[in-house]
């Protein structure tokens, strides 16, 4: 990728650029390789890991694994590293004059812990109060999914979601709570299957205790259809 394209890609990240505290630490040459080139390199690396573990890579069941893992990293679970994949969040005028809080709750979240590369599985809950603009509901789920598809820590993921929606909706009044299980805690190490991690970020009026508790009350509602 030439320098101009690279700068544009970094610019497209908005606040989300290389080096800010809340952002995923990316090298400045992060977008130099194409997906195909990345898959070819990762395939060799996975092959080496399996080889080192003593696995027989000529076995029918194992021989495709390096390619499968490489494709899964680049095209699926880490695909949100590329700014080109950031969802376009269509916004509309708030012509309904809906001025209360909107909550999108129980958004399914699959991410990957950046310390162990093990799954993080949970739910994200988002709220905002319109400042004249509304966003398509599904775009909130898509924004969660985009930032989740990176090696992550839950704190950063929570902040990234809020910052993105604040930018899209042109308001500080956005909040996010995430409740998730980290398989690095549940299935290895301390092996505590029952614990989960809750993180939150409250922007604008959500810093106000009443607004915050209204949001927290909504996300505790049980939805059964």
Ligand X SMILES: Nc1nc2c(ncn2[C@@H]2O[C@H](COP(=O)(O)OP(=O)(O)OP(=O)(O)O)[C@@H](O)[C@H]2O)c(=O)[nH]1
- Across-strand partners of 93? 133
Annotated catalytic, 154?
yes
d(CA 44, CA 31): 20
State which of residues 185, 206, 215, 219 lies at the interface with ligand X (CB under 6 A).
185
Residue 198 binds ligand X (CB under 6 A): no
The CB-of-85 to Zn ion minimum distance in angstroms stands at: 24
Taking CB under 6 A as the criterion, the residue among 62, 108, 189, 221 binding ligand X is 189
Give 108 or 170: the residue with its C-beta nearer to ligand X: 108
Asked about 115 being catalytic, the answer comes back as: yes
Kindly state whether residue 184 participates in binding ligand X, applying the rule CB under 6 A: yes
DSSP assignment of 143-181: HHHHHHSSEE-HHHHHHHHHHHHHHHHT-S-EEEEEEEE
Going by C-alpha positions, the residue among 116, 132, 135, 129 that lies closest to residue 182 is 116
**x/- string (CB under 5 A) for Zn ion, residues 166-195?**
------------------x-----------
How many whole angstroms separate alpha carbon 126 and alpha carbon 79?
22
Among 42, 70, 74, 113, binds Zn ion (CB under 5 A): 113
Rounded Cα–Cα distance for residues 225 and 87 (Å): 29
For this structure, is 182 an active site residue?
Answer: yes
Q: What are residue 200's DSSP bridge partners?
A: 177
Q: State yes or no: 17 annotated in a binding site.
A: no
Residue 102 near residue 127, CB atoms below 8 Å:
yes
Q: Which does 153 bind (CB under 5 to 8 A by kind): ligand X, Zn ion, none?
A: ligand X
Query: What's the Rg (C-alpha) of the chain?
Result: 20
Nearest residue relative to ligand X (C-beta): 189
Residue 115 sits in the site that holds ligand X (CB under 6 A) = yes
Active site includes 113? Answer: yes
Under the criterion CB under 6 A, does residue 211 sit at the interface with ligand X?
no
205 touches 173 (CB < 8 A): yes
**176 assigned to a ligand binding site:** no
- DSSP strand E in the chain: where? 91-93, 101-113, 119-129, 133-135, 151-152, 174-182, 197-202
Minimum CB distance to ligand X smaller for 130 or for 152: 152
Q: Does 69 bind Zn ion (CB under 5 A)?
A: no
Quick one: 113 or 134, whose CB is closer to Zn ion? 113
Which residues are known to be catalytic? 113-116, 154, 182, 184
Q: Which residues make up each annotated binding site?
A: 113, 116, 184
**What is the contact surface with Zn ion in residues (CB under 5 A)?**
113, 115-116, 184
């Amino acid at each position: 990728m030439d320098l101009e394209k690279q700068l544009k890609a970094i610019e497209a990240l908005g606040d989300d650029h290389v080096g800010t505290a809340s952002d995923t630490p990316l090298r400045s040459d992060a977008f130099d390789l194409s997906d195909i080139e990345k898959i070819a390199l990762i395939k060799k690396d996975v092959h080496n890991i399996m080889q080192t573990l003593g696995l027989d890579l000529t076995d029918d069941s194992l021989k495709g694994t390096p390619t499968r893992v490489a494709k899964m990293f680049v095209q699926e679970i880490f695909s949100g590293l590329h700014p080109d994949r950031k969802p376009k969040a269509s916004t509309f005028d708030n012509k309904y004059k809906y001025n209360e809080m909107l909550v999108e709750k129980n958004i399914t979240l699959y991410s990957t812990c950046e310390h162990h590369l093990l799954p993080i599985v949970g739910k994200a809950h988002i709220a905002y109060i319109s400042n004249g603009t509304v966003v398509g509901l599904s775009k909130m789920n898509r924004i969660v999914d985009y930032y989740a598809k990176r090696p992550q820590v839950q704190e950063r993921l929570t902040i990234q979601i809020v910052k993105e929606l604040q930018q899209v909706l042109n308001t500080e009044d956005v909040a996010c709570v995430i409740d998730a299980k980290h398989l690095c805690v549940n299935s290895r190490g301390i092996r505590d299957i029952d614990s989960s991690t809750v993180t939150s970020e409250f922007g604008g009026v959500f810093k106000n205790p009443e607004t915050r508790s209204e949001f927290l009350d909504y996300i505790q509602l049980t939805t059964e259809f």
